[in-house]
Structure 1
């Protein structure tokens, strides 16, 4: 070790870095930060995420764009068609599902209204380079007792689909709606899956539409709800994708080691029972709350983290269900953030992967970065101009 106050022999032998090299290294380090906007997601994960915004403390869409790209998330589902979100993700390659809210579904039965909605909420963003693959018409419309809404959803979907065709977007953007598991009657064993009798009149023509347009059947699946209702009888390992003996379907002999896959296959069985084998089932929502009321057992960060972590591992393995082993399960996790204005029990406000400040609620291996601030569009243009000047300056310095 060199004596105090005396430079070591090794240090004396190193030449001082040139100003050219220093400038070039500084610029190389700075460049990624200057050019972050518009960078596409590389080596994207297979899983998608629901980006809800029922809150008053969420970061700006531009910052969220940075967060999701740093996590390598390339599929996002919205419950509306927020133009601020779609603009913030331009050039990133992130694929969106956008939604028409339940309150607007009845008006969408009008062809003129459907075309006007698309012209305002979809077409401008597609022309700007956004990736929009699907429009959901309503959400969980069969969960309540609004018979007028339930009767309007399929005509509205047909109207939106025809409007897309008139705009030359047929095959590029499909149309569907998302259901809750309340639409099911029997669901276990999975091979006995059947739709609730009250929904059958709507679902027969609905499935015919999905089959004809090659659109997916979206289902919101929450094994947590089953555990919450009967924690003494529902094995925690079975709902959390942890090692367990599994449950065999006595009719098919297929063995299920987790509830989510059993729920998905029950939906497949219900669809097949109505004569359709070409409709794909996708999980439009699934998640686990990290906090709940006293009467909501299992709503803890530990269990939520276990559920999401194990789900991520299976999705990245491109697993299929026992009934459809060759078809990887397509899943959108609910949700990106805790949403403090959602009504209902405490669990409803605590499904997020992140707190609004970008801190992970629990660790599942998704390492994201939410920047503390993001410049305005005008300032960003100045930075981009500065970047061009800097490139020219470095080139001049290195050539001198």
Structure 2
């Protein structure tokens, strides 16, 4: 910095230089890595044998102006296809690798050298998600190894001189919470705190956000008799009132995000940002899966997109714009589990839209429903559901 300052002093005089240095001192220097451009992203799952090629997916995403994508592995065909697209991508290091990666940093270096480094800088890999919903799982062995795996991946990223460009994170499910209603009462499960707090401490040190998979759909499915569907779908409703914070919530999505902020605050991490790593609504389900309809899926995703485009915060964190990755890009026909699992896609397997929320598909096939604006088809009601994450405490609402 010495030479530029000397040059400036010769040109500007002492008073001007002093003012410049004063402004520089006031300007915050942000050393954390930002793996998210804007507020809207999408999860690109590929548990299917009939979806478009990665090259066609890039065309689809660019047409939709979606700049943020998460994948659940580091598939080389996908990473090659994304080269030069400008789309920012988070790759996943699967749960099946965690034990090996946790053993030593060399394993992490080998994984990154094989699955990340060869594709840089042409493919904009901006983050590595280490595991998925580990602490919300029923596998305590993975709880034990997650922190070491995360540390080894970050250390490997640093040794390979990639830490300035690649964020290291680990997304969680709502099952990490003991309760989430009202939002201010949310806390982490006691059984998970010995694993969660050291993980949060490390993420705080390296500037990583807290990623949470937040699904109003799952909460509604767990108790459709007592949860207002309109509240889950961003439609007109009485909402809920949090007496501790004196805040009113007119949609469940914001409440779930603020519940995460409340849990972080109680754990000692009030300054950590919350980013939604998954959220969505199934367009089809089994008879036991209340709410899984095309109309509800379309209502949720249209309203969610509109809400994210406003780039505003939540009632509890009004100055931090909410960011979310939508689940999912395609319906995935090979996913196990109930019917809903195979029907979260904004797009069908042939690349056409599942329903119209403002995107265009790869084919001319049109959805059977047309957007008629914010009021038209949004007069939805009812219907059919599935068992939710155990952590989402039913939000009993009264009109």
Q: TM-score, normalization: structure 2?
A: 0.80
Give the distance between the partners of 1:343 and 1:369, measured in 2 at CA.
26
- 1:92 to partner: Cα distance: 1.3
| Equivalent of residue 54 in structure 1, options 47, 50, 58 | 47
Contact kept in structure 2, 1:68 and 1:368, CA below 8 Å: no
Deviation sequence 1:211-243 (CA, Å, 0-9, x none): 000001110011111111111110011000011
Q: Secondary structure at the match of 2:178?
A: coil
Alignment of 1:66-105 (within 5 A): 66-105=59-98
Q: Secondary structure at the match of 2:126?
A: strand
Alignment of 1:170-189 (within 5 A): 170-189=163-182
Give the distance between the partners of 1:176 and 1:369, measured in 2 at CA.
32
Contact kept in structure 2, 1:63 and 1:371, CA below 8 Å: no
Alignment of 1:382-393 (within 5 A): none
Give the distance between the partners of 1:194 and 1:277, measured in 2 at CA.
13
Look at both structures and tell me which one has the larger radius of gyration over its CA atoms.
Answer: 1
Alignment of 1:12-27 (within 5 A): none
Q: Does residue 115 in structure 1 map to residue 109 in structure 2? A: yes
Aligned to 1:124: 118
- 1:325 to partner: Cα distance: 0.8
Aligned to 1:146: 139
Aligned residues: 328
Q: Does residue 306 in structure 1 map to residue 299 in structure 2? A: yes
Deviation sequence 1:98-118 (CA, Å, 0-9, x none): 000000011111111000000
| Equivalent of residue 250 in structure 1, options 243, 249, 258 | 243
Contact kept in structure 1, 2:38 and 2:323, CA below 8 Å: no
Alignment of 1:1-400 (within 5 A): 46-109=39-102, 110-127=104-121, 129-369=122-362
Give the distance between the partners of 1:359 and 1:130, measured in 2 at CA.
26
Q: TM-score, normalization: structure 1?
A: 0.80
Contact kept in structure 2, 1:45 and 1:73, CA below 8 Å: no
- 1:80 to partner: Cα distance: 0.4
- 1:370 to partner: Cα distance: 5.3
Give the distance between the partners of 1:357 and 1:342, measured in 2 at CA.
17
Contact kept in structure 2, 1:265 and 1:323, CA below 8 Å: yes
Give the distance between the partners of 2:186 and 2:224, measured in 1 at CA.
22
Give the distance between the partners of 2:355 and 2:245, measured in 1 at CA.
38
Contact kept in structure 1, 2:39 and 2:321, CA below 8 Å: no
- 1:145 to partner: Cα distance: 2.1
Q: Which runs of 5+ in 2 are unaligned?
A: 1-36, 366-399
Q: RMSD in angstroms over aligned alpha carbons?
A: 1.4
